[in-house]
Structure 1
Amino acid sequence: MVQLLCSDKVYEKLKQELTKYQIEIEQDSDWVLVEKGYDLPEGKLSVVFDAMDYMNVIKLLVSGIREGTHYMDTLTGLTENKFVVFEPRDVVYLEAGPDGLMAFTKSGRYSIKETLQYYETLWAPKGFIRINKSQLVNLLHVKEIIPWFNSRYVLRTDNNAELEVSKMFSKKLRNTLNI
């Protein structure tokens, strides 16, 4: 639960994002998100943020407040008209496509809910990194990193998939892996 002290426009954006992560908005919460320029409430833990950076506040909450919850540590995917529950560590990569979001594991491919942004935010501490506009990879499953043309890379995973890291995301990969 969190309280919001912000403009109406930012309130609606935060409410929409917080709902995705099942974080409730409540006036009597001990946690308060305060947009820069608003007065800090007394006796409450406050996080001050700039309206332009409201997504950073969401990332902070998701990685901090909810770190110990169980449902973050499992994923439900649909394949062949049956649901399968598995852990993030079993996911080799996620891919957004015309059929929605797919989770690829060593044992198969599963249709999952939510967005790539949702899992990028939630699973970054678990070793997942965005490699292009439609894929998120689990670095624990990367066997080889092959330098490619124009400052790009190809990642070969342990399920023998070859994933291209776009030029835009190459710098983040290099910084993350110190290469």
Structure 2
Amino acid sequence: MKAIIVEDEIPAREELEYLVGAHSGIEVTDFFDDGLDVLKFLQEHETDVIFLDINIPSLNGMLLASTISKFTKRPYIVFTTAYKEHAAQAFELEAFDYILKPYEEKRIAAMLSRLESAFKRDRAETPLSDRKLESQLDSGRQQRENTSKSASRINLKKNDKIIVTDANDIYYALAREKATLVYTQQEEYMMPMSITEFDSLLPVDLFFRCHRSYTVNLTKIREIVPWFNQTYILRLKDLKEEIPVSRSKVKEFRQIMHL
């Protein structure tokens, strides 16, 4: 089980790291003192738990947790703060726990024990992890790429109807919880499958998985805008939505687009 600590006070960060190591098998892999840096990290990496202070720069812990709560695969969030007044909001965001500073070792130890038990229980309820499933689906997609270009028409669902759609009419797809939102120029559709499953249905010569939450139609790209950490933002024809290219996909994207 892997964790990150988001804390801008070094003594509090070091104390929490010590307590996690002393009372659990959880591996703390990274430390952050800025909310935006956490979001950038989570674009490229997965973690099982975030120990999250509320009073941090750029993006406070509540706003950060609210953003993370919209992820398809959400880590456990344990708030660590000196402020009692945010507890109700924290649990509205389905936080695992809300720990007050200064830390009480027994309280931390009990929380860590429950956290590890919850992690084991959730893993047991889902024998095939999301990562393994994505790997299998990506492998299947690669096999199909070697033999065909996939279907040119896609069955999209809206209001209990099946809309047969030319694949090239799809501009992009966006992961949303356990479903995928699919956008054409005029319509939005919700498909009851992960974005990895939906991506496997698309013609591989038209679409590119540019981010773990986005698949984009390469023919609909109007503008490629350089972004932070040598990544890009994609602006599409006819639509206002801006699509991110994650760092892990930049090299492949440059090769495809001959950049």
CA distance in 2, matches of 1:116, 1:54: 14
- Which amino acid in structure 1 is aligned with residue 141 of structure 2? K
1:62 paired residue number: 144
Give 1:127 deviation, angstroms: 1.8
CA distance in 1, matches of 2:139, 2:178: 30
Q: Check whether the contact 1:143–1:155 (CA below 8 A) recurs between aligned residues.
A: yes
SS in structure 1 of the partner of residue 253 of structure 2? helix
Give the root-mean-square deviation of aligned CA atoms.
Answer: 2.8
More strand, by proportion: 1
Q: Check whether the contact 1:63–1:122 (CA below 8 A) recurs between aligned residues.
A: no
Aligned with residue 97 of structure 1, among 148, 152, 176? 176
Q: Check whether the contact 1:146–1:154 (CA below 8 A) recurs between aligned residues.
A: yes
* In the alignment, structure 1 residue 162 sits paired with structure 2 residue 242: yes
Give 1:169 deviation, angstroms: 1.3
- Which amino acid in structure 2 is aligned with residue 82 of structure 1? K
Aligned residues: 126
Q: Check whether the contact 2:178–2:193 (CA below 8 A) recurs between aligned residues.
A: no
* In the alignment, structure 1 residue 136 sits paired with structure 2 residue 218: no
CA distance in 2, matches of 1:162, 1:140: 15
CA distance in 2, matches of 1:90, 1:166: 24
Name the TM-score, length of structure 2 as normaliser: 0.42
5+ residue gaps, structure 2: 1-127, 129-134
2:64 paired residue number: none
CA distance in 1, matches of 2:212, 2:139: 22
Correspondences of 1:40-119 after superposition (within 5 Å): 58-65=140-147, 67=148, 72-98=151-177, 100-119=179-198
Q: 1:113 to 1:126 in 2, by over 3 A?
A: farther
Q: 1:165 to 1:116 in 2, by over 3 A?
A: same
Name the TM-score, length of structure 1 as normaliser: 0.59
CA distance in 2, matches of 1:112, 1:171: 29
Q: 1:58 to 1:97 in 2, by over 3 A?
A: same
5+ residue gaps, structure 1: 1-12, 14-52
1:4-58, Cα deviation, whole Å (9 max, x unpaired): xxxxxxxxx9xxxxxxxxxxxxxxxxxxxxxxxxxxxxxxxxxxxxxxx976763
- Which amino acid in structure 2 is aligned with residue 110 of structure 1? Y
Q: Check whether the contact 1:62–1:122 (CA below 8 A) recurs between aligned residues.
A: no
- Which amino acid in structure 1 is aligned with residue 242 of structure 2? E
User: Rg bigger for which structure?
Assistant: 2
